Each structure stands twice: as C-alpha cells, then as structure tokens.
Amino acid sequence: MENFSILIVDDDENLRIGMATILEDEGFTVHEAENGREGLEKLEQEVYDLIITDYKMNEMDGMRFLQQIRNDFPSVKVIMVTGFGSIEHAVEAMKLGAINYITKPVKPKQLVQLAKNVLQIGEEDITPQEKQNRLKKYYHFHRLVGQSKPMQQIYRRIKEVVPTDIPVLIAGESGTGKEMVAQAIHELSNRKNEPFIAVNTGAIPRELIASELFGHLKGAFTGAIADKKGKFEEANEGTLFLDEIGTMGPEVQISLLRVLENQVIERVGSNRSIKVNVRIITATNDDLEKLIEENKFREDLYYRLNVFIIEIPPLRERQPDIPYLANYYREMFNLELGKKVGGIAPPAMEALKEYQWPGNVRELRNVILRAVLTANDQVELKHLPSNIIKPGLTQVNITFKPGIPLSEVEKTMIIQTLKAVRGNKLKAASILGISRRSLYNKLEEYGIPDNEM
C-alpha cells in the first residue's frame, strides 16, 4: 500500500499522530497538517489519494477546508472526522463532497477499513461504463427490461411521443417503474442533453410544494432566508417529471395549469412572471377521474395532462418479464456488491414467476438484493422470502414508502448490505436505492452500531 498517500488534517496533535501511526503500520504513506490552511499548502505541493480531516479546527475549519478542496482539487477523496453522534455534521460534509465520515473516538480497525474502502483496495475496479456494458444484455428498449406484449406496447408508445413536446401522463401501480419510462422519453428526445428533474410531489408537505416547484423570494414565508429557484427553473430546456400528482393541493394545481397553458411561473412571494421551456411528464397511481368526482383534482388540469397516456401494467400481468428482471437485478447487485452469484435455480425462478408481486418491480428488486446478499453460487429457494416460496403464507407484509424502497425487513437488509460493502455507506445507500440522508436516519433510528457493519 506504499503507493497510496494520505494527508491527515487535525489540530489535535495526539489524534493526528495516532491516526498517522495506525495507517503507517498498514503500509500507507502518511503526511500531516495541523489546520486547513496548512493542508491546502501541502496540496499545492503534493498529490494525495485521500484526505482525512477533522470537522472542528482552528484557523480554517473542516467545512471551509472541504469547500476549498472541492473547488481546487475536485478529484481528491475526503473522509470527515466528526464528534460522536454528530450525524448532522456528517450529512452536511457529504453534501459538500466528502465520500464518507468517521466518528470520534476513532477506532483503529474502523479507520483502516474505511480508508481501504474509499481507496477500493482489494476491490475489483469496475468503471461505471463497464458496469453499463455488462447490464446492456438485459435491456430490451433503451434501458428498460422486458419483452412481454404489454412492454412492447409501452415501447411503441414511447417511440410515438418522443419526437413531440406534448405532456405525457404515466399511469400505473406503485413500484411499476414509471420514472424509468419518463427517463427513457427524456433520453430519447431532443432534450436529452438538458436536465431531467424528478419530483415526488407526494413526499413533499403541501405547504412547501409550491416553493419546491416554482421557487420563492427571500422572506416569502418563515424559513425563506434567501431567494430560491424551483424545479421548473432547474429543468428549463429539459424535462420535469412530477410523480404522484394526485396528491397536489388546489392552489398548486392552478399554478401547474398556468404553466401548461402559458409556460410561465411565478416564485412564491413574487408577482413577476418567469418564462420557462419545460417538457412536463406526470405520473400517478391514483384514479384521477375518481378524484375529479370527489372535487380533489381539477378536471381542466386533468385534460391538459392526459394528452398522451402510457399505462404500465402491474408485474403480475407481465409474467414473461420476471426472469429477465430477476437476472438483471442479480447481475446489477453482483457488480455493486462484488459478488459472483451465477444464476437463479429453476425452482427459485418458478417461485418468482408464480408470485403475484403486490409491490411490483420494486418488490422484486428488494427480493433479489436480499437473495444476492445471502447466496454464494446461485439463488436458490432458501434465499427467497417464505411468502414467495409458499404463496399461501402472508406473514411477510412488504410495504413501500415514497423514495425509500425497503420492506419491513429493512434493518436486516441495511446491516447485510453494509457488511457486504465493508461499511461503505455511500455505496450501501446506492445499492439500497435510498439517499445518504435516509440511510443515516435509518442507522440512527435502528441504533445500528459501527461494529455491525
């Protein structure tokens, strides 16, 4: 490991020397700096593979140091050291680009393992492009998987609407892959080089949805400490995907109707119109016509959104796609977890095909994740949940929350995933399909200690 050079930045001399000694004993080349300013000077003179910096320091604290690194040395990997339990500090640091964090008191084994994880020592070095190439064999249309008749119809509908800019409404049960279809429309259109912004309107409090979509001016409401662009402005010239539109309140529905008619928005607290050029794709798992009858959704907005509809059938209605999807996720998690699960045994595949999948593709994804985590050579019946092996049993009731695709066994899945990636929280969050913030919240909620990772 003599080829890997680490810079430790900390104004606590004892802690700095202690970490340096631990890492040097493992074969790393280690340099030290007592504050952020000295650290920047060293970065001007030498190339480092990894920087480990304290959050609180004199002269220049860890956050200012991290910001400067991101501006001047964006390729350098950074680990932030924070006080025990300072999850907020860690999340803040990772938003600014830190790749991981470690809490005090620093444990030698954890420090060494974290450094190895970040530097990918002992891991197969597979580039994102190589991963995509290995997954391409499972694609049937763009990056969508499935060749059943219902999916062929969806592919035809996508081809029909791609050359236009008309609004698209994607309807289907939760977990069927509505956002994937929206992404395909965007990436095949002439807007493909412009932003694709996805918003789950059902996950945003009603009082904040207008601000999130249209932006706001400083002082427009309590907590509006600065002017803010909304998602429409962020998506200008590109595509805005609005999921769960049936949850939007009446005022936001009126504003959305105005955008569809005039392509103008107004930030909350302003009466100045801002012109935008955005293609709008919406999605719902609600019966919008029923919501109209109940006066919960505007009929005129419905007809503006329902110009071109793509209906995604539930997974139970496209059984031929299950083997393709199951093997696609098996390969994807092999790559993410560094495993070599070679296939799915015929009895296990038969069970997957017979199951009704109330949680649709999202549920299948989670089942295959758990199977790959626990399997070695191939996925067998014993690696599947009991309610899939014996459909008559219902003791496993999988539920899904917006933006957090985890079943009721999520604690076990989180621990198993973290162990599989040797505590790399960034990679674990990516594999689990949740944000880093959500992962940290779950670790705190379940009280999962570092020694379980």
Q: For the structural domain made of 128-133+316-452, what CATH number should be given?
A: 1.10.8.60
**pLDDT mean across residues, the chain:** 84
Size of the chain in residues: 453
Tell me what the mean pLDDT of segment 386-410 comes to: 50
Region 236-260: what's the mean pLDDT?
Answer: 92
Question: How high is the pLDDT of residue 84?
Answer: 55
- Report the C-alpha dihedral over residues 80, 432, 187, 148, rounded to 10 degrees: 170
- Looking at the DSSP bridge assignments, the partners of residue 436 are none
Report d(CA 240, CA 230) in Å as an integer: 11
Share of the chain above pLDDT 90, in %: 36
State the pLDDT confidence band at 175, using cuts at 50, 70 and 90.
very high
Which amino acid, residue 35? N
Q: Is residue 234 over pLDDT 90? A: yes
**One fold for 5-118 and 149-315:** yes
Residue 244 vs residue 340, higher pLDDT: 244
Range of lowest pLDDT (338-342, 396-400, 438-442) = 396-400
CA-nearest of 23, 373, 310, 369 to 177 is 310
Section 191-216 average pLDDT: 89
pLDDT of 124 higher than 70: no
Burial (Cβ within 10 Å: 0-12, 13-18, ≥19) of residue 225: exposed
pLDDT band at 245 (very low <50, low <70, confident <90, very high): very high
> Would you say the pTM of this structure is higher than 0.75?
no
So what's the pLDDT on residue 398? 33
Residues 6+ positions from 304 with CB-CB distance below 8 Å: 167, 257, 260, 261
C-alpha closest to that of 118 among 86, 134, 92, 94? 94
Stronger pLDDT, 349 or 131, i.e. the higher one: 349
Any idea what the Cα angle at residue 214 is, between residues 209 and 217, rounded to 5°?
Answer: 100
397 secondary structure, DSSP code: -
Q: Which CATH number fits domain 149-315: 3.30.70.1400, 3.40.50.300, 3.40.50.2000, 3.10.580.10?
A: 3.40.50.300
Measured distance CA(333)–CA(391) in Å, rounded: 25
| pLDDT (average), residues 403-408 | 44
More confident position, 75 or 216: 216
User: Is 70 exceeded by the pLDDT of residue 316?
Assistant: yes
CATH number listed for the domain at residues 5-118: 3.40.50.2300
> Could you tell me which residues come within 8 angstroms of residue 97 by beta carbon, excluding any fewer than 6 positions away?
66, 69, 70, 74, 78
Q: CA angle, corner 305, sides to 302 and 306, nearest 5?
A: 80
Task: Please tell me whether residue 298 adopts helix, strand or coil conformation.
Answer: coil
Most confident of 165-174, 337-346, 375-384: 165-174
Above 60 in pLDDT, residue 435?
yes
* Rounded mean pLDDT, 249-262: 90
pLDDT category of residue 167 using cuts at 50, 70 and 90? very high
To the nearest whole percent, how much of the chain has pLDDT over 70?
88
Res 392 pLDDT > 80: no
pLDDT at residue number 408? 47
Please report which confidence band the pLDDT of residue 384 belongs to, taking 50, 70 and 90 as the band edges. Answer: very high
Mean predicted confidence (pLDDT) in 209-229: 83
Compute the distance between CA of residue 414 and CA of residue 452 in angstroms, rounded to an integer: 10
Residue 367 in contact with residue 329, Cβ under 8 Å? no
Question: Residue 360's pLDDT is what?
Answer: 95
Single-letter code of the amino acid located at 310: I
**What gap in Å lies between CA 397 and CA 64, rounded to an integer?**
46
Strand, helix or coil at 310?
Answer: strand
Nearest to 181 by CA among 229, 102, 243: 243
Radius of gyration of the chain (CA): 25
- Say if residue 403's pLDDT is above 70: no
Calculate mean pLDDT across residues 67-95: 76
Q: Which is it for strands 196-200 and 239-243: parallel, antiparallel or unpaired?
A: parallel
Residue extents of the structural domains in the chain: 5-118, 128-133+316-452, 149-315
More confident residue, 130 or 146: 146
